[in-house]
Amino acid sequence: MSVLLFFKFWYDYAIYLNKLELMDTIIEGKNKNKKNKRLIILVSIFLILAVLSFLALTKKRSLNVKRGEIAVKTVTEDYFEDFIVFQAKVEPLTSTLINIVEGGSVQEIFVANGDYVKEGQPLVRLYNPNTELSYMQQETSMIEQINNLHKARLDLRNQELNLEKDRVAIEHDFNDAKNEYELNKKLYEKEIIAKNDWTITQEKYRYQQERRSIIKQTVEKEKEANAMQLTQMNKSLAIMEKSLEILRQNKQNFLITASFSGRLSSFEPVLGKTYNAGETLGKIDVMEGYKLLANVDEFYLDKVSVGQKGQVDYKGAMIPVTVTKVIQEVKEGRFMVELNFEADKDLELQQGLSFGVRLKLSEKEKAVVIPKGSFYRETAGKWIFKLEGDKAVVQPIEIGRENPLYYEVKSGLEPGDKVITSNYKDYERIEILNIEESN
């Protein structure tokens, strides 16, 4: 930049001098010769500066490095397999959490971490006086409501009995009036009884007919209403009794028992410590097989899928595994992968063991590859230093897939090329490396 500024200064100065001399009204021969000489000198300076500026701008920046300071690798054509390697831990195939349903302080601990427990076996007893008192009050209230419903149902039944008695009495009165009516009718026809007595008999019979009809309708309606009430009461009683049963079961939640048979893990309750509802005291591992759990870098989230095959090294033998679950949720840049052993019956596995999993993402195929190195951090795979004799020059490249060992080269390099794969941190803005032999 300083060279360019210097060049611009002399160029502007030459133009300025030329303008001054053109403004002179009297031009002498001697002055004209001086002007020409000065102009030639200025033009020469301009040309020299222009050449120096061009050379300064187009000259490639270089740096001398010792051969022992760099890592040189050879580009090859080989079978490329897209795979990843990650660590996974052995976990039981099935586990269940020990959750607290009703919060309280730990009153008794019946087992220890690592013990084998059976389904229904007591593990911990909690104590919460406020909740227990609340349960007692609720239970008392429910029992009282159940008793009231039973009493109301009994009252309805008694009411039905009274209605039935009334119906029987009315039916008896009606039959008496009917018999009297039929008898007096015959007597009246034979003129044995007076007309006045026959009129009274007819009126009594009519009254008992209407009375019987009204009472009968009333009894039927009362029975229908009572039947509906009884149905509602029976439903309410069933709900109340079920609620009471659940309440009594909830009272048992202070005693935490094993929901499955298995081995306790992460089970560390503390006497006297208060735990809230929903907290976890540990888990029960059902000892019927094992699986692998791994946290994998989110870069591979769209490359890992259920059904992919992999291998783990177990005592010198490669054991096949299969991806059975991929949890898409990313936490702290990693996601969870679950793998199953294709056959673990003959394996002496133990919870907590760690294995290096080699998961295959594609089949093997021929490709131009270079060994992985630190150069990728600075170049992002866009260029690399390629050796040409005792120099290394910048070579644009295009990187494709990668695995823990190699990068796939899609363009820019050929098999047999030698490249520098070590760190480029000190080579920023450098275009040529002059390689010197180490002493």
Distances from the Cα of 277 to the Cαs of 74, 100, 183, in angstroms? 63, 5, 84
Q: How confident is the model at residue 27 (pLDDT cuts 50, 70, 90)?
A: very low
Residues 233 and 277 in one domain: no
Residues 217 and 306 in one domain: no
- Tell me the three-class secondary structure of the chain, residue by residue: CHHHHHHHHHHHHHHHHHHHHHCCCCCCHHHHHHHHHHHHHHHHHHHHHHHHHHHHHHCCCEEEEEHHHCCEEECEEEEECCEEEEEEEEEEEEEEEEECCCCEEEEEECCCCCCEECCCCEEEEEECHHHHHHHHHHHHHHHHHHHHHHHHHHHHHHHHHHHHHHHHHHHHHHHHHHHHHHHHHHHHHCCCCCHHHHHHHHHHHHHHHHHHHHHHHHHHHHHHHHHHHHHHHHHHHHHHHHHHHHHHHHHHHHEEECCCCEEEECCCCCCCCEECCCCEEEEEEEEEEEEEEEEEEHHHCCCCCCCCEEEEEECCEEEEEEEEEEEEEEECCEEEEEEEECCCCCCCCCCCCEEEEEEECCCCEEEEEEECCCHHHHHCCCEEEEEECCEEEEEECEEEEECCCEEEEEECCCCCCEEECCCCHHHCCCCEEEEECCC
Residue type, 65: V
pLDDT digit string, tens, across residues 126-149: 888 887 787 788 888 888 888 888
Q: How confident is the model at residue 326 (pLDDT cuts 50, 70, 90)?
A: very high
155: containing domain: 129-252
Q: How confident is the model at residue 381 (pLDDT cuts 50, 70, 90)?
A: confident
**What CATH number does the domain containing 423 carry?**
2.40.420.20
Residue 339 falls within a domain, yes or no? Answer: yes
pLDDT digit string, tens, across residues 303-322: 899 999 998 888 878 889 99
Can you give the pLDDT at residue 318? 86
Can you give the pLDDT at residue 396? 92
Residues 355 and 369 in one domain: no
Residues 216 and 241 in one domain: yes
Residue type, 327: I
Can you give the pLDDT at residue 13? 53
Answer yes or no: are the C-beta atoms of 435 and 65 closer than 8 Å: yes
pLDDT digit string, tens, across residues 80-109: 888 888 999 988 888 888 888 888 888 899
Residues 93 and 191 in one domain: no
Closest among 170, 270, 155 to 222, alpha carbons compared = 155
The span from the CA of 271 to the CA of 295, in Å, is 34
pLDDT digit string, tens, across residues 229-254: 888 888 888 888 888 888 777 777 88
Residue 167 falls within a domain, yes or no? Answer: yes
Q: Note the pTM of the prediction, 2 decimals.
A: 0.48
Last residue of a domain, one of 217, 252, 287: 252
Query: What share of the chain has pLDDT > 70, as a percent?
Result: 85
User: Which range (9-18, 342-351, 372-381) has the least confidence?
Assistant: 9-18
The whole-angstrom distance between residue 66's C-alpha and the CA centroid of its chain comes to: 51
Provide the angle, in degrees to the nearest 10, between the axes of the packed helices 29-58 and 2-22. 160
Can you give the pLDDT at residue 58? 44
Residue type, 106: V
Closest among 384, 372, 380, 378 to 414, alpha carbons compared = 384
Residues 135 and 245 in one domain: yes
The span from the CA of 237 to the CA of 147, in Å, is 9
pLDDT digit string, tens, across residues 397-439: 999 888 888 899 999 999 999 998 888 888 877 888 888 886 6
The span from the CA of 95 to the CA of 287, in Å, is 9
Question: Which phi and psi angles does 365 have, rounded to 5°?
Answer: -155, 155
Q: How many domains does the chain have?
A: 4
Can you give the pLDDT at residue 49? 62
Residue 257 falls within a domain, yes or no? Answer: no
Residues 40 and 103 in one domain: no
Question: Which phi and psi angles does 414 have, rounded to 5°?
Answer: -125, 155
Q: How confident is the model at residue 1 (pLDDT cuts 50, 70, 90)?
A: very low
Residue 369 falls within a domain, yes or no? Answer: yes
**What CATH number does the domain containing 293 carry?**
2.40.30.170
Residues 141 and 105 in one domain: no
pLDDT at 295 over 90: yes
